[in-house]
Amino acid sequence: MSEDLIGCCGAFCGSCRGCPGCTAGYETGDREITKARCRIKICCIGKLGSNRTCADCPDFARCDILQGFYGKNGYKYKKYKESLEFIRTNGRTAFLKIAKKWNRAYGRLI
């Protein structure tokens, strides 16, 4: 399973039919970051490159864009944050092993 299916914000894009993932295509030039609308993606790819997520960012805990996103009302935002924290601790391979069983962009990590 491709790491491109992990969204910059921690959403698992592999559960969405027809979605290549938010980081797919930028490295090959199939997509242009200048056309992106997601502030998280623009920041993440601009700072870290297309094969990374916000879990890789040294500013993870201090990022106003990311923390504002996680501060929104809604269960899914908490779950996306948990996903990135899981990746920071356990790595992408461990995350993908669990996430491939999900039927939405978030789920149980244990």
What is the pLDDT, as a whole number, of residue 43?
95
Q: Are 48 and 56 in contact (CB under 8 A)?
A: yes
- Who's near 52: CB < 8 A, 6+ residues apart? 8, 23, 44, 45
Q: CA 94 to CA 106: how far, in whole Å? A: 15
How open is the CA angle 91-16-24, to the nearest 5 degrees? 60
Q: CA 97 to CA 109: how far, in whole Å? A: 10
What is the pLDDT, as a whole number, of residue 1?
66
Q: Are 51 and 73 in contact (CB under 8 A)?
A: no
CA dihedral (37, 39, 41, 44) positive or negative: positive
- What are the pLDDT tens digits along the chain (110 aa)? 688 899 999 999 988 877 778 888 888 889 999 999 999 999 999 999 877 899 999 999 999 999 999 999 999 999 999 999 999 999 999 999 999 999 999 999 98
